[in-house]
Amino acid sequence: MSYDLTPRQNVNLFVTDGHTTMSMNDQAVLEDVQYASGNSDFTLARAGWRWALSPRLLLDTRAAYIREPDELFNNVSTLLTKTDHREWVGGAGVSWAWAQDHVLQAGLSERRIRDSEYQVGITTSGQLQPFSYAGSGLRQTGYVEQASGLLQGRLHILGSLRWERFQEYLPQQFSPQISLALRAARNTELQFAAGKYS
């Protein structure tokens, strides 16, 4: 769904959801550790909002959510595997044409992932043995970028700085980058670039 709140504002929404069921035909011949039946779900929701505050200034925000759980059973309905993956992401960006041939862009985003799993294995004695784990992570990124055209379009300069942080596991990182393109002659363009990437 996409809807114009005003001539300069637009909101959009997309949602899908599904359920799947699986069942083997001849479950009696299966062993205890073999999958005989199961079910899974999938949910995806996405929303966004765009606002042109002026002909030179644009704000863009978005968010999304994903859910993927599933369960698998043996031929006597014992749970063998159960997984659950959930993820959401949100962010916002701004684009500002503050002068002719000069555009400044900046944005922030955040992504959180959560996973859990329960599984049954088999021991050397033939017994079923369960184990499980769960974990989550948060990743944050941000950037600022300036693009400029000079000398009546003969020289183009692009400079940016990217910031990234992954929860407390890794230190935050900064990645600067700059590039230049100079049209030295009608059929000749010189390009230069430098950056530091972590």
Report, as an integer, the average pLDDT of 20-43: 87
Residues 68 and 70: their CA atoms lie apart, in Å, by: 7
Q: What's the CA gap between 193 and 176, in Å, rounded?
A: 11
Would you say 179 and 190 are in contact if contact means Cβ atoms under 8 Å apart?
A: no
CATH code at position 155? 2.40.170.20
For 177, the domain range is 2-195
The residue with greater pLDDT, 153 or 111, is 111
* Mean pLDDT, all residues of the chain: 92
Which amino acid is present at 168? E
For residues 154-172, give the mean pLDDT.
89
pTM metric for this prediction? 0.81
pLDDT of residue 84: 96
Rounded mean pLDDT of 100-129?
Answer: 91
Average pLDDT of the segment spanning 96-100: 95
Report the pLDDT averaged over residues 20-24.
Answer: 92
The total number of structural domains in the chain stands at 1
In this structure, are residues 129 and 108 in contact, taking their beta carbons and an 8 Å threshold?
A: no
Q: How far is CA 60 from CA 53, 146, 164, in A?
A: 11, 17, 20
